[in-house]
Chain A
Amino acid sequence: KQEVTQIPAALSVPEGENLVLNCSFTDSAIYNLQWFRQDPGKGLTSLLLIQSSQREQTSGRLNASLDKSSGRSTLYIAASQPGDSATYLCAVSSNTGKLIFGQGTTLQVKP
């Protein structure tokens, strides 16, 4: 059974720092991996999707990498801003399309 783990559960950094959020999964037979952002009391916003054949995806200050063989993905946030404060969720998908979510990392960026 696929399990997804995100470490750390919470992270607090000063504004301007570069940071890395980690996601690991137990079954490497994934179809793709998706990173989401969730603001308090809100829905999920898709940030990046990495297909299983890809190594990384970039969008603005965000860069996500994928290493299927080791069962790991990282989300790199450059030059963090207070507006980046949110919970970040990773989810892996099998070829049936079902998503298995990690429990998220709650990020606080202090001004």
Chain B
Amino acid sequence: NAGVTQTPKFRVLKTGQSMTLLCAQDMNHEYMYWYRQDPGMGLRLIHYSVGEGTTAKGEVPDGYNVSRLKKQNFLLGLESAAPSQTSVYFCASRKLSYNEQFFGPGTRLTVL
């Protein structure tokens, strides 16, 4: 099992550009999450999904959109990137029946 994988690993954007981060898991987990990690702020929840076709806002959702068209994939979109979105983005997943989250390796995004 690959577990939770994230694509791409690194990305540099200019202000105003758009991009999509892909998270994939092969553990048949129902729940998926997107976090961002910033120095001094810790990890904060952006959006999450409790199943295919459903999404919900987390603590810091502004400027991001998400989609969960397939159970194994969770996409995070930035429509118009801003320097404040420079961060490391982590995806996580877990089973419905057991609340232990498993994390991907992260995507380091820089917005110039």
Binding site for B on A (CB under 8 A): 31-32, 34, 36, 42-46, 49, 89, 91, 93, 97-99, 101-104
Contact = CB atoms under 8 A, between A and B. Distances in A.
A44 B100 contact: no
Interface in B55-97: 58, 90, 92, 94
Interface string B35-65: 0000011111100100000000010000000
Contacts of A101: 42-44
Contacts, number: 47
Contact of A99 (B101, B104, B105, B106): B101
A43 B106 contact: yes
Nearest to A98: B45
A104 B4 CA distance: 22
A44 B40 contact: no
Interface in B20-45: 31, 33, 40-45
A44 B103 contact: yes
B103 A31 contact: no
A69 to B, nearest CB: 21
A32 B99 contact: yes
Contacts of B103: 36, 43-46
- B interface majority secondary structure: strand
A36 B58 CA distance: 20
A97 B4 CA distance: 18
Contact of B106 (A32, A42, A46, A49): A42
A89 B43 contact: yes
A9 to B, nearest CB: 10
Which 3 pairs across A and B sit closest by C-beta, in order of nearness? Answer: A44-B103, A43-B105, A101-B43
A97 B94 contact: yes
A31 B40 contact: no
A97 B101 CA distance: 9
Given A44-B90, A99-B45, A34 B31 contact: no
Nearest to B31: A97
A58 to B, nearest CB: 16
Contacts of A102: 42
